[in-house]
């Protein structure tokens, strides 16, 4: 079991926002990293998770629609891959499908905040489950693990006001999955038979994104409000010996991935907008950062040394020297020539 410290409350409540300004980059003619817009989709405001599927396409979740979408990485064409999943029920908050992963050719979706109790008041449909869903190839789904019910039965200490927790990210791991819960302050290991156990808890640091690469587990910490850069951290989780900090120094870190050359990249959503618990960053303040050997997080720059500007990113994926990231408002961008 990972030996780690405790963590505080985090509600990933992405407020509904309108409009999006394309990221800027000064690189040209393929000489350095370039940001371009690939696709837009959905109802906006609640997009979070993504993955590269076995067919090489990008798959993203849409919490408002209760769906999973497939995006062709060459043409940007958007098509519906799965529908009928529970939708978000809390206005202006993250919920419904929030992340997706494939095991072989089978898709699994993480669903959160579709039922439960907030500060003593029930919300959502009690028949909807907060947990991991296995998608059937002919349509429909099976609930693999009811994380919400498990969380109610195994509350954090002290208890926090959303009884089912707020699950954020999911990664396949050892025949099952790792799941971050930023509200109940922990990382869970979920097995295919539905069993769940807690493998990591934290202090006031807010666990968000996950990456499992070559048997190693990495995760990001967004830090408590106001999500100061020094509180944004990348950790390596090691069984039996606790977490090791491998990088820090970027605000609102929400994802981490192995990229070109085996380098470790993290995604900074940007400068917190200051509206309230869990609200997103200000538009066009996000950055892609790379973990340096000295433990610093350096922004990726173009050939002229200008930082690449991202608009409220929530997740990212790498294919070769190209990164794909999803904006909270339902726009997909790519960064070529990394």
CA distances from 43 to 18, 92, 135, 219, 317 (A): 10, 12, 22, 28, 22
Among 92-96, 126-130, 232-236, 315-319, the least confident range: 92-96
User: Structural domain of residue 65, as residue ranges?
Assistant: 34-336
Residue 8 lies in a domain: no
Q: What three-state secondary structure class fits 193?
A: coil
Domain total in the chain:
1
40 belongs to a structural domain? yes
Distance CA 292, CA 271 (A): 21
- Tell me the average pLDDT across 74-82: 97
Chain mean pLDDT for the chain:
88
Does residue 3 belong to any structural domain of this protein?
Answer: no
Question: Is residue 56 predicted with pLDDT exceeding 80?
Answer: yes
In CATH, what number is assigned to the domain containing residue 240?
Answer: 2.120.10.30
Q: What six digits make up the tokens of 164?
A: 């089912």
- In sequence order, what DSSP letters do the residues of 133-166 get, joined into one string? EEEPTTS-EEEEE-HHHHHHHS--SS--SBTT--
Does the residue 229 lie in any domain?
A: yes
The answer to whether the predicted template modeling score (pTM) of the entire model surpasses 0.85 is: yes
Residue 196 has which token pair?
A: 């769940």
11 domain-assigned: no
Residue 45 has pLDDT above 80, yes or no: no
Q: Which two tokens stand for residue 291?
A: 């973990």
What is the tens place of the pLDDT at every residue in 254-276?
999 999 999 999 999 999 998 87
> Does the residue 20 lie in any domain?
no
Q: Mean pLDDT lowest for which of 5-14, 42-51, 91-100?
A: 5-14
Condensed to tens digits (0 to 9), the pLDDT of residues 214-230 reads 889 999 999 888 999 99
In a domain, 27, yes or no: no
In a domain, 18, yes or no: no
State the Cα angle at 105 between 99 and 108, rounded to 5°: 25
């Amino acid at each position: 079991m990972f030996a780690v410290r405790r963590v505080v409350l985090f509600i990933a409540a992405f407020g509904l926002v309108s409009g999006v300004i394309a990221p800027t980059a000064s690189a040209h003619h393929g000489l350095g990293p370039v940001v371009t817009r690939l696709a837009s989709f959905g109802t906006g405001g609640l997009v979070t998770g993504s993955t590269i599927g076995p067919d090489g396409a990008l798959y993203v979740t849409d919490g408002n629609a209760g769906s999973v979408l497939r995006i062709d990485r060459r043409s940007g064409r958007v098509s519906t891959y799965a529908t009928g999943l529970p939708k978000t029920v809390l206005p202006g908050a993250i919920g419904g499908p929030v992340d997706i992963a494939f095991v072989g050719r089978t898709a699994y979706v993480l669903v959160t905040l579709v039922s439960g109790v907030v500060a003593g008041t029930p919300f959502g449909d009690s028949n909807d489950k907060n947990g991991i869903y296995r998608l059937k190839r002919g349509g429909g789904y099976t609930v693999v693990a009811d994380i919400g019910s498990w969380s109610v039965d195994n509350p954090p200490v002290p208890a926090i006001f959303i009884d089912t927790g707020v699950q954020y990210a999911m990664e396949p791991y050892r025949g099952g999955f790792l799941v971050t819960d930023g509200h109940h302050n922990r990382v869970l290991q979920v097995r295919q038979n539905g069993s769940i156990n807690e493998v990591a808890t934290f202090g006031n640091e807010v666990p968000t994104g996950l990456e499992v690469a070559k048997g190693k587990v990495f995760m990001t910490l967004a830090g408590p409000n106001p999500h100061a850069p020094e509180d944004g951290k990348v950790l390596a989780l090691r069984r039996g010996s606790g977490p090791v900090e491998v990088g820090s120094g970027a605000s609102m870190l929400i994802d981490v991935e192995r990229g070109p050359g085996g380098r470790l990249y993290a995604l900074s959503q940007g400068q917190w907008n200051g509206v309230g618990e869990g609200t997103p960053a200000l538009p066009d303040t996000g950055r892609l950062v790379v973990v340096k050997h000295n433990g610093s997080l350096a922004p990726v720059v173009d050939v002229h040394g200008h930082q690449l500007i991202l608009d409220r990113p929530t997740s990212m994926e790498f294919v070769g020297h190209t990164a794909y990231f999803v904006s909270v408002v339902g726009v997909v961008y790519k960064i070529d020539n990394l």
